[in-house]
A and B are shown apart, each in its own frame.
Chain A
Amino acid sequence: MERVPVLKLGDVLLVSIQFDLEDEVALALQADLADKIVASGARGVLVDISGLEIVDSFIGRVFADIAATASVLDAETVVVGMRPAVAITLVDLGLSLGSVRTALNVEKGLRILRRDLGLRAAEDLDAISSGASAPDATG
């Protein structure tokens, strides 16, 4: 079975889905992500679904569940890169992603996490690795 990789970037976990999800892959992702959030203490989860072309009600629900799980573990989820066809399908199915935040692409998603949560993400990696605190403390 294929697995979706979960990458850690500072305080943010990046999940990039580049193929259409089968049900068990989606469920495995949900479990992996919960483990990773606890293990890494991440505060934000960025789910990039730009490679996803097809959704059904099950996958839609899994995304809502992923976000809810992350929220219970005190991490904010941002779903980015949703394709128009996927958005239309979700609306037609009457599914919402709950209170999940959305953004057009990874960059804008990271900006939301940084701005609204003060999270250190990709751009601050240098600062993190060199042991410095968040950039706002330097200025």
Chain B
Amino acid sequence: MAKKAGGNSVVAVVRDRRDEVLDGWVEGALRGARGRVSEAEVRSELSTLYDALVKGLVGDELPDATAAELDEARALLTELSRTRARAGATPAETAVSVFALKEAALSAVGEQPTAEQYADFLEFSRLVDDLGLVTFQAYAEARESVIASQADELLELSTPVVKLWDGVVAVPLVGTLDSARTQVVMEKLLEALLETESERAIIDITGVPAVDTQVAQHLLKTIVAARLMGADCIISGIRPQIAQTIVGLGIEFGDIVTKAKLSDALKLTLAEAGLDIVPRRGADA
């Protein structure tokens, strides 16, 4: 519903009595910030924001919070949310400091608002609420991007391919295996096979907390791909309870060699490569 912004409406008050409303707002915001930021800082932040907001309130109608007129105000709010979050403020504190504009506007209207002004205030209040939510959303988005980049880093960190011997590489898997991680493991292992010209690979699952049919499926896919390239894989690091789970689930590893320990697997690959490890002459047996 279109609201006429008459001479004494809340919007007009906000637009025309800048200093008074801004003072109230800064005061309210400082109360919410609990001494985390200085008054000068808050004042400079909010006055920029205030001006951007007023710039969006030119028309007779109260704009929607998503309207293009408020682009600048929204951008400032997003920025505000980020700086506050960096300073350690909770998203609630930031939102409360935005909501303080409502009180400031209402008290600037006067002691006894008319019914029309109240209705008007309700509209304005809704707009401020929406703008407060913008800060919340910005906070959540910033957090989410941090989480996403950490997940990416984790993916990289947790899948090293190490060369154990000439022609033998190993992948010590740590953590839960899902499709995304298996894909990374698979690609890295296959690249390493090509790079190091290794014909044998050991996939060590000591650090994998649980093996289900899906994980087994992922492992099998990796091994089949390695075979297509001309390399053989051994699975090692199968703990007793994992072995029981594998049997319980009826997972078949077929002709793929499985070993209990990484050392057993290495011994086997060396033996297959025709290498014997013998104690040096004269050493204690």
Contact = CB atoms under 8 A, between A and B. Distances in A.
A84 B225 contact: yes
Contacts of A27: none
Given A102-B230, A103-B230, A108-B230, A87 B197 contact: no
B197 A105 contact: yes
24 contacts: A79-B228, A79-B230, A80-B230, A82-B229, A82-B230, A83-B229, A84-B186, A84-B187, A84-B191, A84-B193, A84-B229, A86-B228, A88-B187, A90-B225, A90-B228, A102-B230, A104-B193, A104-B198, A104-B199, A104-B229, A104-B231, A108-B197, A108-B199, A109-B230
B140 interface: no
B133 interface: no
Interface string A90-109: 11100011000111110011
A87 B193 CA distance: 12
A62 to B, nearest CB: 15
Contacts of A97: 228
* Interface class of chain A by DSSP: mixed
Contacts of A91: 221, 224-225, 228
Interface string B225-246: 1111111000000000000000
A87 B199 contact: no
A57 to B, nearest CB: 14
Contact of B230 (A86, A92, A96, A104): A104
Most buried by A among B193, B194, B230: B230
Nearest to A97: B228
Contacts of B10: none
Nearest to B191: A84
A102 B199 contact: no
B171 to A, nearest CB: 14
Nearest to B221: A91
A91 B228 CA distance: 9
A102 B227 contact: yes
A104 B229 CA distance: 6
Given A91-B224, A102-B228, 12 more contacts: A79-B230, A84-B193, A87-B228, A87-B229, A88-B186, A88-B190, A91-B225, A96-B224, A104-B193, A104-B230, A108-B199, A109-B230
Interface of A: 79-80, 82-84, 86-88, 90-92, 96-97, 101-105, 108-109
Contacts of B193: 84, 104
Contacts of B228: 79, 82, 86-87, 90-91, 96-97, 102
Contacts of A83: 194, 229
Contacts of B198: 104
The listed residue with most B CB atoms (<10 A of its CB), out of A86, A87, A101, is: A87
B224 A84 contact: no
A82 B224 CA distance: 13
A103 B167 CA distance: 13
A7 B254 CA distance: 37
Nearest to B187: A84
Contacts of B199: 103-104, 108
Closest 4 CB pairs of A and B: A84-B190, A102-B230, A103-B230, A87-B225
A102 B226 CA distance: 10
Interface string B197-231: 11100000000000000000000010011111111
A84 B194 contact: yes
B180 to A, nearest CB: 14
B193, B197, B229: residue with the most chain A Cβ atoms closer than 10 Å: B229
Contacts of B227: 102
A92 B221 CA distance: 8
A102 B187 CA distance: 18
